[in-house]
Amino acid sequence: MAKLISRPNMTAAEAMYVPEIAKGLGITIGRFFKNTFSSRGTEGNEIDTIDYPEERRTYPERFRGIHRLTHRADGSPRCVACLCCSTACPAQCIHIEAAEYPQGDARHGYERFPKVFVIDELRCIFCGFCVEACPCDAIRMDSGLHMPPSTQRAHFIFDKEMLMAIPAADGSFETKNPRHEPGDPTHPGVDREHHH
């Protein structure tokens, strides 16, 4: 279906075209001189560009940066390898192989852990669904980093160790959400004795 567009109502000066061009060039040239000759950072004289990458803008608090795997207090991953993130992932970039905690471990029977956890950051579209899907707050995108550029594909394949070595923007490896560990008093599975 054809869409009707009304003609813009222009004044005579606008319709003549040239004065408007001159006006636009004026702004461009003005910016050029301001950026080149003004001293940076002086009050009332802030320029609009920054010297990236020496200077960086602060990203908003909820910026979705590269992933990190959060730690427990003992430094092990919070992840229980449930594959909810890779199920939610629309780019299918998460590969996980699950394993069981050994007999005798307090988590044996209650939890499992990722033997292999790989994210292909090249495939990732940074939608954040994995973070939403995670029932354990084990995967987060609060690193505040975007993917650093590289010419090698292998640099974009992040394994478990790499993901666990990335801190949050505030430098912590854990999360603020509490975790109830098997063995500590807040864990629902604390009383593991079976009374006969």
192 forms part of the interface with other proteins (CB under 8 A): yes
Return the number of the residue (85 or 168) whose C-beta is nearest other proteins. 85
102 forms part of the interface with other proteins (CB under 8 A): no
Q: How far is the CB of 116 from other proteins (least distance, A)?
A: 12
| Positions of E strands within 73-111 | 94-100
CA distances from 188 to 109, 124, 181, 184 (A): 13, 35, 9, 9
Among 81, 94, 119, 139, indicate the residue that binds other proteins (CB under 8 A). 81
Helix (H) or strand (E) holding 37: helix 18-37
Is residue 113 within 8 A of residue 81, CB to CB? The reply is: yes
Task: List the one residue out of 25, 23, 45, 21 whose CA is nearest residue 35.
Answer: 45
Among 108, 123, 146, 180, indicate the residue that binds other proteins (CB under 8 A). 108
User: Helix, strand, coil shares of the chain as percentages rounded to 5?
Assistant: 20, 15, 65
123 forms part of the interface with other proteins (CB under 8 A): no
Residue 56 CA to residue 54 CA, distance in Å, equals 7
Among 112, 137, 143, 167, indicate the residue that binds other proteins (CB under 8 A). 112
80 forms part of the interface with other proteins (CB under 8 A): yes
One-letter identity of residue 13: A
* DSSP state, residue 143: T
Q: How far is the CB of 33 from other proteins (least distance, A)?
A: 58
Return the number of the residue (114 or 144) whose C-beta is nearest other proteins. 114
Among 92, 150, 172, 177, indicate the residue that binds other proteins (CB under 8 A). 92
Q: How far is the CB of 81 from other proteins (least distance, A)?
A: 7
Write each residue from 134 to 163 as x if it is in contact with other proteins (CB under 8 A), else as -, in one continuous string. Answer: -x----------------------------
Is residue 112 within 8 A of residue 100, CB to CB? The reply is: yes
Which residues are near other proteins by CB under 8 A?
80-84, 87, 92, 98-100, 108-112, 135, 188-189, 191-196
